[in-house]
Structures are given as C-alpha cells and as structure tokens.
A = this chain, B = another copy of it.
Amino acid sequence: MHLSQPYLLFLGDAADDLAAKTARGIHHWRPDICLGQLRLEGCKTTLGLRDMTVAEAAARGAATLVVGVANRGGIIGESWRAVFLEAMAAGLDIAAGLHQRLNDIPELVAAAQEHGRKLYDVRHPTETFPVAHGVPRAGKRVLAVGTDCSVGKMYAMLAMERALKARGCKADFRATGQTGILIAGEGVSVDAVVADFISGATETLCPAHDEDHYDLVEGQGSLFHASYAGVSLGLLHGAQPHALVLCHEPGRPHMRGLPGFPLPSLEDCVDLNLRCARLVNPKARFIGACFNTSSLDDDAARRVMHEAAEQLGMPVVDPVRGGVEPLVDRLLSDA
C-alpha cells in the first residue's frame, strides 16, 4: 500500500477541532503534501488551508481524498458519500482510517471499479505477512515504547524523523497505526494483523536498510497494558530496535481504559522493554524519554522532566515544548 499524493483533506461536518485531529496531524507533519481542505456545511473547524471543491482539487493535481475526520463510532457519514463519489469520478483515490470500511459500502466499491480508483482502509490490513525470522538486519531502527497507550509515541517518532533529516541524516518514519499511515502514505496497522504475524508484519515494515539509515518506528500500546501488551511485545521483537525512546504522560490516574491498573514506574518500563528487546538485539539501549506535559504549566513540566532525567540517567524532553535534539545527539553519538 502506498497512497498517492498530494492529498485533499476531507474535514466533512467535523463538530469541533478534536473531530478533525487526524487531518490536523497530517497537515502538521506533512504540509507539503496537503493541497487543500474540503468542508461540508456545519463543519466547525479549519486547518487554515485553502478550501477547495473536488473539481478544483483535481485540477490542481490532488491524487487522494483523505478522510481526516472521525465521528462517534468511526462510521462513514451518509452526507460524505456524494463527495467521495464525485472525487472518484474526478480521478482521486479515497483513504480512511475509520472502523467502518470504505470497502464495505457497495456504492463506493462500484464507483471505484467504474473509475479505476482505489479505496484504502488503512486500519484494516489486507496483505498477508510472513512469520518473523528474527535474523539480525542492517540499518538502524528506533522504536517508541510507552508506559501506556496514547502517550505520544507517534509524535515522538515523527519529531525524531524531522530532526534527523534536518541534520542531513537518512531517516524514515514507519507507521504502525492509522493516523501514522495517512501521514506517511504507507505502513501497517499492526494491532489489526492476525496475532501470529505481529512481528512478521513489523519486520516487513522496517526491513534491512543502509547502515547509516534510521527507521523511526511508531510504537503501540505498552508491555504494561493488560489489553494490548501482546501487540507491544510482537512489535518490539519485529522492530529489532537499536535504540528505544520511552514515552510517558505524567499525571495519568490509571492505565487508559483500565481503572484499577496503575501506571508502571519509569524504571520498570525501561527495564522490561530492554530485557525483551535484547532477545532480538543485545545492543538495544534507551536514548531518552519523550513526555507529553500538555496538562502541566511550564514550571511543573520542567520540574517533572528534570526529576525523571536524574532518576533515569537519560535526557527527558517534551517534543512539543522543546524538541528532541538531546535524543538525536545521544542516538548519533555512538551509532
């Protein structure tokens, strides 16, 4: 799977900014591939991009209409379909990361066939993957691991990719979730593959590469999350990481979706991830931590990161507040 670019970002009838956070993520990280936005009546948000009709976007070379909005339940809105049909007739593919599949709507499938277009449901892998082999492979891989789900792993790896490229290094973000895939234009939603192939799919996602090339692999879940830890471990083994980045949001009352499960200590999280990573790469090490401190004021954020850095003996940053340069320094220092 490789989504054609540039994108027309579909915001639909987004009820608020949060409903369009997928589109916002794509625009934040890949402004160069975002040609414009398309909003329906009632849309309550904007990316600040030029508003375009399908016809205008097609005339300017848009290749894929990307659904950057989510409503409750991840359903494809009734009012969206006419736009999708118009887009396919105008030569655009459609890509979405929703629970409901574009490919399960006969009207859209028929139109795609008629116009020779593609419908990409990036949350639902259709490829088959090999069983993982675990053989050491060339190139460098960095993996984000977390104390919990939704603590900023994707953001951390995209920030690392940007910082590495800014220094002239060869680097590629490797997406393992739907928003990441729409940003990268490719990737594998690893939590949606058949369990036996979690590690194999990850090996396929970040294969052998030049020795001076960095794959920045988006993490998923946490080894300490009682619902999803299997995905996290399979991903850790398949990524065969040289370097790990600890991702964490200070102040969470419990593991996401699991009242009664406290977060692990940072040391435990570092220790268990290292122990498991070393099965496939004995040289795996942590280069630092990315904290999501959005709920704290500047002083509190600085204090909590300083304390964690002392405690862990590694740089701790908030990629949004201060960037990831100390982690890049550490990564390049003895690569």
Contact = CB atoms under 8 A, between A and B. Distances in A.
A69 interface: no
How many copies of this chain sit in the oligomeric assembly?
2
A135 interface: yes
Given A133-B258, A196-B192, A229 B237 contact: yes
Contact of A132 (B193, B195, B199, B227): B227
A154 interface: no
A194 interface: yes
A231 B194 CA distance: 10
Contacts of A215: none
A165 interface: no
Contacts of A192: 194-196
A191 B199 contact: no
A17 B233 CA distance: 37
Contact of A190 (B195, B226, B228, B260): B195
Contacts of A260: 134-135
A55 interface: no
A276 B268 CA distance: 11
B226 A261 contact: no
B272 A226 contact: no
A296 interface: no
Sorting the interface of chain A by its residue count into under 10, 10 to 19, 20 to 34 or 35 or more gives: 35 or more
A165 B233 CA distance: 36
A146 interface: no
A237 B279 CA distance: 20
Interface in A189-234: 190-196, 198-200, 223-224, 226-234
A89 to B, nearest CB: 34
B234 A132 contact: no
A195 B234 contact: yes
A231 B232 CA distance: 10
A192 B196 CA distance: 6
Interface of A: 131-135, 190-196, 198-200, 223-224, 226-235, 237, 257-258, 260-261, 272, 275-276, 279-280
Given A134-B227, A134-B260, A200-B227, 7 more contacts: A133-B258, A193-B195, A195-B195, A196-B227, A199-B230, A229-B276, A233-B233
6 contacts: A131-B227, A190-B195, A192-B194, A229-B234, A229-B276, A272-B275
